[in-house]
Structure 1
C-alpha cells in the first residue's frame, strides 16, 4: 500500500510528563536510520532534550525538532514537553502538525494526566493517534488503559492492534486489519508469526469493535457489518485514513519506545494514513489555491540561539522559502524582513540549508520583528491570517532584581526576548510595590527561564517572593493642624493648615476638598497642600499606601515673606502625620476571585486547598466544555496565592489549574494583620 503523501509531513509527539515522548523520538530516529545508536535520558545523549536546562532536570522544557526519512518519505517530528508548566510549547507545534501522536503511560490511574492535551487536540480538530508506551512492563492491561483514556477523549479511541502475551509480558501484537501476528524483536523489525490460539478470540472481538467504530461514519460499511459481510482490507484502510484525517476516530497503538518495540508499526501507520500538509493548512483556515504557489508559512516557535541570533521555526504551506528571501507578515502592525540564514533542525543541531519546500519545517534567521503565530510569505493577505490562541494565563510569579549593579537595561531586554520565545512568560512592573515581576506557569517554569537568562543572555538575577500590595484605610475621623515654621539666615519657611480627615466608602480612593474662605491660605498654595497630603498617603501609619480617605482643607494662615509652595506641602504632610494615626488605621488586603479547574475526582482536594488558604468557597459546578471536570470558585486573599498552583498540581497529578482576577480590598485584623504590619516595619527599617 502506497503512502498518502510524498511531500514532507509533520507529527507532533505530545502527552503527559514521563510518558516517554523523547525516548519515542529517539527510537523513531534510530529506526529510520537517522542515528547510529539510540540515546537514553539516563545517559543524557538523546537528540531531543539537548539544552542544558532539559538535561539538568531530566525533562523536556521546550519543543525539540528533528527531521528524517522513513522509506524515502520526509518527516519532521516535534517532541513537545509533557509537564503542564511547559504546556505553551505544545500549542504551536500541535496546530501546525499533520498529526499528533499522544504518548501515554499504560497505567489506568495516570490516564487523567492526558486530559489537557486531548482537549487541546479535540478543540482544534487535530488528527491524532495514541501510542501506549512502556508495555514491556509486567502485567500491562492494554484494554484497561484504553478504557481509562476514553473517559478523557471526545473522540472514540479505536484499537488498531491487540497484544500477544506470554505470562505477564507483552511479546508482540496482532494487526486487526491485516489479521497478521508479529513477535517483537528488540531493535529490529518484528517477526511474522502464526496467530496464537489463545489470542484468536480476543482478536476477533477487537476486530469487530474496530469495524463497528468505523461503520459509525460509513453507511456502506455499516450494512456489511450488519450482514456479517467481511469488508476488503483496502476498504478498511481507506476508512481508517479518511476518519483519521477528519478527526473522527483516534487509532490506538502500543509498544515500548525504550526497546524499539511497536515503533515501526507506528511509523507504518503514519506513512499510510496521515494526510499531507494541505489538510493542516485547511484546518487553519488557509486557502492554498489563492496562494498560487507563492511562499506561505506559519511561525510556530521563536528561539534565541547562542550563535545564530533569533530563529523563527516555521511550517511552510505553499511555495518554497529560500535563504535571502524577503518575507512579509499578514499581522498588524505589518512587519517582516530578509531571511538571513535558513536551517533544518535535528535536536540541538542547526543544519545550514538553501531552501525549504511546502510541507517542510525550517528555522529562519533574523526575522526579529515577526511574532509567534504570524503568517509570513511573499505577500500574505490579511484576510488569510489565521487566528492564533492567546498565551496561557499567568499562574506563578517571582520578583527579580539584577545581581550586578547596572544590569537593569540588559535584564529588561533579555526578559523581553524570553517572553518572545515563550509567550506564557510575561514581565510586569508592579506599581504598588515597585517590583519587577516575572510571571509564568509554575516554579520549575520560571527556574528554567532564569537558567536560560543566565546561560544565553549572561544576566544573573536575585529572586524573592513578590510582595503583597496591601493597603490601609481609616475607620475614624480627625481634625488637626499642620504647622511648618523654620527660621534661617534669609527667608524662613512658613505654612499653616487645618484639615478634616474622614473615611470614604470602599473603592472610592482619595478625595481632596478646598473649603478655604477669606484667603487665609492663598490660592497658589492649595495645590501644594494637596500634594503634601498625597505624598504622605503613599505610606500611612501601618507602612502601606492609604486609600478611601477624604481630606478637607478648611483653615490656615500664611506669612507674606516666608510662605512658599514647599512650606505648605510640608505642612500638609505634617497634618496627615499627626491626624491619620488618630483615625483608627486599618489594614486592607487584596482579595481575588479564583476559579480552580480540576477533574471531579479531585474536587474535594481542591476545596480543602482553598479553605486552608483562608479562602471562602463560593461554590462549584461542571467545567464548561470538559467532561468529568469541575470548576471550584472561591474568594482567596492574594497573600495566600503564591504557590497555589504548586499545591494544586501535587494533589491532581499535575493537571489542576486556575484563573484569577482582583475582586476587592478586604479588612484584615487580629494576629494576621499584626504579623503583616510587623514584617512591613522590619522591611522598611532595613531598606
Structure 2
C-alpha cells in the first residue's frame, strides 16, 4: 500500500447493478493511482475487491470491499459495493458514510431501470453521485450507434433520477469500436490507449454539431443553479472553463446534478478523467459533515460504523467513517479501547497512528460495537447519527447443524454472522421449534451458510420452514363426559368431568370457565381440569395447536379418597379428546399483510402474481414520493410467500420488493387442507 503522507481525504462508494463492472473499475482506479502494480481480474479471482471465498466462488460482490490509496496528496478510499439486490443492505450501510458515489452501469438503456432503488436512496439521503457508463465498447459498433445509444442511456437515467442528468463527456466511435471521448467542459477530444493516458486530438468534424448540442444542454442545466452563468448564456458569452468546473463542483457537492462519464474499465478507458473528477469535483469531508449536520466547532471525535468484519487472523474489524476530530491508536470509544487503526486494501491491513476527518479506517477488537453505531470518546455524549433503514427479511430457510454436538456453538456463530450482516435475522420458532434463518434471497442465505461452514466450522442441513398451521372448531358441543378411574393397589385415581366446548371469534385465543354448583368438583381440582384442557389443545385432532376455543367445566364428581388434581387433569384430556372430534375441527393458516412496491409498468403482472398465490388484493396506489412506482396492498397466505421474492424480482427486472408482517389466521380451503393433512400425517 502507498505510504505517502496525505493532506486531504476523499471516500467514494462504487455502486451499481450486478455485473456492471464495479470491481473492475475499482481495480483500474487502484492501478492508476499506484496502489497495486498489477491489475487482477474477476475470472482469475485475484482482484482487491471480491477477495472473500464466498465472493470468488460466485464471481460477484457479496460484501463491502475496501481499497485505500494515496493520489495527489489525497487519501482516497474506495468502497466496492455489492450490486445484487440480495446484498443491497451492505451498499446502503456504506453509502451513508461516503462523500460521493460513482454509479456504474452498462450502456444498455433497457437495464437502467435496475438503478431506480439506488437512485432513490442517493436522492433521499442527498448523497452526491455521478455516473460512469461502462462497457461502451459493446455498443459503439459505429459512430452513429455510439452516439444514439449514449443519448438513449442519458434519457433512461433521467427517468430514474430526480436530479438533472448532465453529460460531462461525449463518446467518439469509429470502425466498430469506441476510440475516445470529448470533454464537454474544455471541448477537447481525446483518443484512448489501453492501460495508458488518453491523447488529446482535434475535435472530429462529424461530431462538432452533436458536441455543441450536448455542451449547450449541460450549460443550460448548470445555469438553472447559477444566475451569473445564465446571464452569460443569454448574452451569448462563452463561459470560462474555470467557472464551469466550479459550478459543477458546487452543484455536485450540493447533490443538485448528476454528471455522467463513460469508458471501458477493463481497458482503463475513461478511468483517469473519472479519477480527476472525483478529486477535483467531489465534495471535501467538511462539506459532507456539514450536510449531515455535524459541526466542526470542537475536537471531540465522532465516527460511525459502516461495516463489521470477522477476519480469520485479526478477529473483529469495524470499518468507520471519521466525521469530526481524529482517532488515535488506543483511543477509547463508547467505553471500548481500540485494538489498532488500519487502512485496508482488500485483505491487506496497514497500521496507522491517526485517522483524520473524512477518512475511512478499520478499528480492531471493538467488542459490543455494531454496524451503524455512532462512536465518540470517553466522557462525551453526542446525538446518534442517522443509519440506513434495516431491510425486512423476505426469504427463509430452516437450519440445523450436521452434527448435533454443534448446536451449542450455533447461537454464538449466528450472533457474529448477524453482526457482519444486519440484513439477516434468525429465530427459534415457537410453534415449529425450528431454527429459521431469514434474509434477502436464496443466494444471500447460501452465502451466509458458507460463512458458517468456513469461518465457524458449522456445516448446516437446511429445508424449507414448516408453516405454523393451527386448528380451530366450527361448531359447539355440550356435556362431553370424561372419566378417569385407575386402581393399582392402595389409593386409586378418580376424576370425573363434564365439559362444554364452543368456538370463539378469530383471534380471541383460549378461554376457560367453570359453572360448578354444590362442590361436585372441589375447587382445588379445577386448576387440574384447566391444565388438562390446555395440554390437549397443544395438539388437536388434526395434529396442530388449537386456538379460538372456549371450554366450560359444567359438572362432575369426585371420590373423597382417590381423587386428585392429576386425576382430574387426565379426565379433562379424555373429555377433550372425545368432544373436539365432534366440533368439526378445521385447519387455519397464517396470513401476512404485504405491501408490494414496483414500477407501475409491472403493476398488472404483480396483481396476477399475488392473486395467483391465493392473495386477497386490498388496493393499490402510487407511491407518494416515488414517481412511476405503485404500492399494492394485499393479504397473502404465508404458505405462498416462500419464493414470492424470487418470482417478483424475475417479473420486475430485479427491482420489485415487498414488506410484510403477520396479520391473522384464516381457514385453509378444504382441498388444500386435505393435502396439508396428508403431508403432515
TM-score by length of 2: 0.96
Q: Does structure 2 conserve the Cα–Cα contact (< 8 Å) formed by 1:287 and 1:384?
A: no
Out of 234, 255, 258, the position equivalent to 1:250 is 258
Task: Supply the distance in 2 between the matched residues of 1:559 and 1:284 (Cα, whole angstroms).
Answer: 77
Tell whether the 8 Å contact from 2:10 to 2:279 is kept in structure 1 after alignment.
Answer: no
1:266 corresponds in structure 2 to: 274
* Aligned equivalents of 2:139, 2:101: Cα separation in 1: 27
Whether the 8 Å CA contact 2:620–2:630 is kept in 1: the answer is: yes
1:593-672 superposed matches below 5 A: 593-672=593-672
Tell me the residue number matched to 2:362: 363
- Tell me if structure 1 keeps the 8 A contact 2:376–2:382: no
Residues 1:310 and 2:316 aligned together: yes
TM-score, normalisation: structure 1: 0.95
Cα pair distance change 1:284/1:379, threshold 3 Å:
farther
Task: Choose 441-450 or 455-464, whichever is displaced more.
Answer: 455-464
Residue 684 of structure 1 corresponds to none
The answer on 1:126 being equivalent to 2:127 is yes
Determine whether 1:293 maps to 2:299: yes
**For 1:310-330, what per-residue CA distance to the aligned partner results, in whole angstroms no more than 9, with x for missing partners?**
1111111233322222122xx
Instruction: Determine if contact 2:104/2:134 at 8 Å carries over to the other structure.
Output: yes
Aligned partners of 1:186 and 1:260 also within 8 Å: yes
Q: Which residue of 1 aligns with 2:422?
A: 423
Tell me by how many angstroms 1:6 deviates.
Answer: 4.0
Task: Determine if contact 1:400/1:436 at 8 Å carries over to the other structure.
Answer: yes
Is there any run of 5+ residues in structure 1 with no aligned partner, and where? 329-335, 682-687
Distance 1:628 1:63 in 2: 30
Contact 1:402 1:462 in 2 (8 A): yes
Counting only pairs closer than 5 Å after superposition, residues 523-534 of structure 1 correspond to structure 2 as 523-534=523-534
**Structure-2 separation of matches of 1:465 and 1:337:** 40
2:228 to 213, 220, 223: 220
Write the distance in 2 (CA, Å) between the matches of 1:662 and 1:443: 21
Structure-1 separation of matches of 2:536 and 2:287? 64
For the 8 Å contact 2:304–2:385, the answer to whether it is kept is no
Distance in 2, matches of 1:31 and 1:380, equals 43
Partner of 1:237: 245
State which drifts further: 38-47 or 457-466: 457-466
What is the aligned-residue RMSD (CA, Å)?
1.4
In the TM superposition, what whole-angstrom CA distance separates every residue of 1:397-421 from its partner, at most 9, and x where no partner exists?
1112222113223101111111111
CA distance in 2, matches of 1:184, 1:176: 16
Asked if structure 2 preserves the Cα contact closer than 8 Å seen for 1:285 and 1:386, the reply is no
| Alignment correspondent of 2:97 | 96
Structure 2 distance, partners of 1:609, 1:260, is 43
| Matching residue of 2:29 | 28
Residues 345-401 of structure 1, C-alpha deviation per residue, up to 9 Å, x if partnerless?
111222333332222111111111112112212248544321213311111111122
Q: Is the 8 A contact 1:214 1:239 kept in 2?
A: yes
Matched, 1:323 2:324: no
Measure the CA separation in 2 of the matches of 1:601 and 1:180.
Answer: 41
Equivalent position SS for 2:136: coil
1:516 offset after TM fit, Å?
A: 0.9
Secondary structure of the 1:113 match is: helix
In 2, Cα distance between the equivalents of 1:541 and 1:516? 27
Report matched runs for 1:383-532 at 5 Å: 383-479=382-478, 480-532=480-532
Rounded to whole Å, the distance in 1 between the matches of 2:433 and 2:287 is 49
- Between the aligned partners of 1:40 and 1:627, the Cα distance in structure 2 is 38
2:384 & 2:504 partners in 1: Cα distance? 50
Aligned equivalents of 2:381, 2:585: Cα separation in 1: 56
Q: Following the alignment from structure 2 to structure 1, what is the Cα–Cα distance between the partners of residues 48 and 371? A: 24
Determine helix, strand or coil for the equivalent of 2:117.
helix
Q: Distance between the aligned counterparts of 2:505 and 2:620, measured in 1?
A: 31
Aligned partner of residue 155 in structure 1, secondary structure? coil
Deviation at 1:167, TM superposition (A): 4.0
Contact 1:181 1:193 in 2 (8 A): yes
Extract structure 1 runs of 4+ deviating beyond 6 A: none
Tell me the SS of whatever aligns to 1:38: coil
What is aligned with 1:378? 377
Q: Write out per-residue CA displacement over residues 287-311 of structure 1, whole angstroms, 9 at most, x where no aligned residue.
A: 221xx22332111111111121111
Quick check: 1:493–1:563 contact (8 Å CA) kept in 2?
yes
Question: How many correspondences in the alignment?
Answer: 668
Q: Report the alpha carbon displacement of residue 171 of structure 1 after superposing the two structures with TM.
A: 0.9
Distance 2:513 2:468 in 1: 27
Q: Which whole-Å deviations, capped at 9, do the CAs of 1:560-614 have from their partners, x for residues lacking one? A: 2221111111111111111100001111111122111111121122122112211
Partner of 2:174: 166
Cα drift, residue 138 of structure 1: 3.3
Asked if the contact 2:96–2:388 (Cα under 8 Å) also holds between the matched residues in 1, the reply is no
Work out whether 1:115 is the aligned partner of 2:123: no
Aligned-residue offset at 1:556? 0.8
